[in-house]
Amino acid sequence: MTNARKLRKLINAKKLLVMPGIFDGYSARLTEQSGFPAGFISGGGLSETLLGYSDVGLMGFELNLAAVTRIAACTAIPLLADADTGYGNAVNVYHTVRAFERAGVAGVMIEDQTWPKRCGHMSGKEVIAAEEMAEKLRAACDARRDADFVIKSRTDALATHGIKEVIRRLNLYADAGADLLFADALLSANDIRVVARNVAKPLCVNMGFGIRRRSTTPLISPARLEELGVGVVIYPRLLTACAVQGMKHGVATLKQAMKSKRVIERPDLAVGFEELNALVGFVELQRLERRYAAKLRKSR
Q: Are residues 165 and 272 in the same domain?
A: no
**Is 273 a member of any domain?**
yes
Residue 112 domain flag: yes
Is 138 found in the same domain as 51? yes
Please indicate, yes or no, whether residues 232 and 97 belong to a single structural domain of this protein. yes
247 in a domain, yes or no? no
Range of the domain at 159: 3-236
Residue 195 included in any domain: yes
Domain match, 264 and 176 both: no
Span 213-259, pLDDT tens digits:
555 789 999 999 999 999 999 999 999 999 999 999 999 999 999 99
> Beta strands of 27-177 (E only): which ranges?
39-41, 79-82, 107-111, 150-155
Length of the chain: 300
Q: Residue 102's pLDDT band (boundaries 50, 70, 90)?
A: very high
Residues 61 and 173 in one domain: yes
Q: Say how far residue 28 (Cα) sits from the centre of its chain.
A: 10
- The band of 119, judged by pLDDT with boundaries at 50, 70 and 90, is low
Judgement on whether residues 131 and 280 belong to the same structural domain of the protein: no
57 and 199 assigned to the same domain: yes
Neighbours of 270 (CB within 10 A): 13
Rounded CA-CA distance 58/192 in Å is 30
CATH number at residue 159: 3.20.20.60
Domain end (from 202, 236, 270): 236
Does 36 fall in a domain? yes
**Mean of pLDDT values over 12-29:** 98
- 118 and 61 housed in the same domain: yes
Domain identity same for 118 and 201: yes
Number of domains in the chain: 2
Same domain, 175 and 37: yes
Please indicate, yes or no, if residue 248 is contained in any of the structural domains. no
In a domain, 249, yes or no: no
Nearest to 40 by CA among 121, 137, 96, 107: 107
How high is the pLDDT of residue 117? 80
Residue type, 154: R
Q: Is residue 245 part of a domain?
A: no
Residues 67 and 176 in one domain: yes
Q: From 32, 114, 128, 124, select the one nearest 73 (Cα to Cα).
A: 32
- Shared domain for 81 and 133, answered yes or no, is yes
